[in-house]
């Protein structure tokens, strides 16, 4: 397992460095209010991509590679084409009835961006399932393309929505070549209905999770606190991107172990995972936290308030990192129902914090409630999954 993590981390280090550079470059050329709009578009893209793909990329790790190839073909030959046609028709009718409404163009932008992101996630996870090292290359090329777009288009000073479209397009560009190759392979038909239960749980879990993650962008942005919304998005991307890469490396390693063992009875010892692996990586993460605290403290002189937003979100971000690191266990332990419950509670917390913030007209209180209750939910989930894993082993 340690060898798998080292391979994943090696490629991710480069991705992390580039990912950290992208958003400070955006901050040099766009205002915080403009970046808050970028965050709203990004959140819409992510949420809609879950609805389009049904999260079938997570199904790949619970089925054989031939069936995974069938579902990949099913998506690109049927779902992808159908969704593109449906979006084009909806846009056509919306343009007729709302000719001068700019939101209609935003609908088209977010919809196609969601298709791009969903396609990338499906291809990337299929390559992970196939244990091909090309998935690392896919991620590296995409982040280089994103950096190129930011360097070129932000200095030209194009509209933030247009820049967002070109950035989202990089998700699709990098998968064109592997998709063409994969679609040429012969596939055996499988019954989609047999996997409905898994897809249903995973779709709802993914939907609740993404709404929870990006809801602060919306209730802060449309609540008039665009600056806070921009800070929330930037902190999640600048601090969240590298921490997410580390967490995804651990989670992907867990999924690959599940695949390599090829057994639904296989379980992983959490004590070993904690002592031998997680604690060592946690030291790296602790160093990242210290550097980030200093960086946002300095940034506070130029962007007043960003440091205090970071301090409010830090406990939540730390526990989210741990939660994402262990997220692969939900697939190994088949704890789909529990994962759905956790994601629903997090979704409810985001809704509750938005309502409270609106009633008392205080966006800071809303953000504090959001962070505090998230910490409590994550802590409970760790305790539950640890006890559950012990019972399974016994």
pLDDT tens digits, residue range 109-133?
999 999 999 999 999 989 888 877 6
pLDDT of res. 64: 85
Measured distance CA(142)–CA(116) in Å, rounded: 12
pLDDT exceeding 90 applies to what percent of the chain?
Answer: 39
The pLDDT of residue 25 is: 84
SS3 259: helix
pLDDT of 220 reads 93
The answer to whether 188 and 73 are in contact (CB under 8 A) is no
How far apart CA 163 and CA 40 sit, in angstroms, is: 14
What is the rounded distance in angstroms from the CA atom of residue 394 to the CA atom of residue 385?
14
- Residue 274 has a pLDDT of 58
What is the three-class DSSP state of 263?
coil
The pTM is what? 0.87
- In 3-state terms the chain splits into helix, strand, coil percentages (rounded to 5) of 85, 0, 15
Ranges of the chain whose pLDDT falls below 70: 1-14, 16, 99-100, 133, 240-280, 328, 331-333, 386, 388-394
The answer to whether 310 and 172 have CB atoms below 8 angstroms apart is: no
Chain centroid, CA 96 distance in Å: 34
Are 160 and 106 in contact by the 8 Å Cβ rule? The answer is no
Predicted local distance difference test score (pLDDT) of residue 155: 75
C-alpha span between 129 and 202 (Å, rounded): 17
Q: What is the chain's alpha carbon radius of gyration, rounded to the nearest angstrom? A: 21
């Amino acid at each position: 397992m340690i060898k798998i993590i080292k391979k994943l981390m090696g490629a991710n280090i480069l991705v992390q460095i580039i990912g950290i550079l992208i958003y400070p470059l955006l901050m040099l050329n766009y205002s915080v209010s403009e970046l808050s709009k970028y965050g709203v578009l990004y959140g819409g893209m992510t949420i809609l991509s879950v609805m389009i793909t049904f999260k079938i990329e997570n199904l790949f790790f619970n089925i054989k590679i031939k069936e995974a190839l069938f579902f990949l073909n099913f998506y690109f030959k049927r779902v992808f084409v159908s969704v593109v046609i449906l979006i084009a028709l909806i846009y056509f009718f919306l343009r007729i009835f709302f000719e001068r409404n700019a939101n209609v163009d935003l609908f088209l932008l977010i919809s196609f961006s969601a298709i791009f992101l969903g396609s990338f996630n499906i291809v990337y996870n299929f390559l992970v399932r196939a244990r091909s090292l090309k998935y690392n290359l896919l991620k590296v090329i995409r982040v280089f393309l994103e950096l190129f777009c930011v360097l070129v288009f932000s200095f030209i000073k194009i509209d933030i929505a247009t820049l967002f479209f070109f950035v989202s397009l990089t998700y699709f560009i990098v998968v064109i070549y592997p998709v063409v190759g994969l679609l040429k392979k012969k596939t055996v038909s499988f019954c989609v209905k047999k996997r409905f239960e898994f897809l249903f749980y995973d779709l709802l879990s993914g939907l609740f999770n993404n709404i929870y993650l990006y809801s602060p962008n919306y209730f802060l942005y449309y609540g008039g606190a665009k600056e806070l919304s921009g800070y929330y998005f930037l902190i999640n991307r600048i601090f969240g991107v590298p921490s997410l890469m580390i967490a995804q490396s651990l989670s992907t390693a867990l999924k690959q172990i599940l695949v390599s063992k090829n057994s639904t009875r296989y379980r992983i010892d959490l004590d070993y995972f904690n002592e031998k692996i997680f604690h060592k990586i946690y030291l790296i993460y602790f160093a990242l936290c210290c550097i980030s605290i200093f960086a946002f403290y300095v940034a506070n002189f130029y962007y007043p308030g960003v440091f205090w937003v970071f301090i409010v979100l830090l406990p939540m971000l730390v526990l989210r990192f741990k939660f994402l690191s262990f997220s692969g266990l939900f697939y190994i332990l088949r704890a789909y129902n529990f994962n759905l419950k956790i994601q629903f509670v997090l979704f409810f917390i985001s809704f509750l914090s938005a309502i409270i913030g609106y009633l008392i007209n205080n966006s800071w209180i809303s953000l504090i409630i959001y962070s505090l209750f998230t910490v409590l939910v994550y802590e409970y989930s760790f305790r539950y999954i640890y006890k559950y894993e012990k019972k399974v082993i016994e």
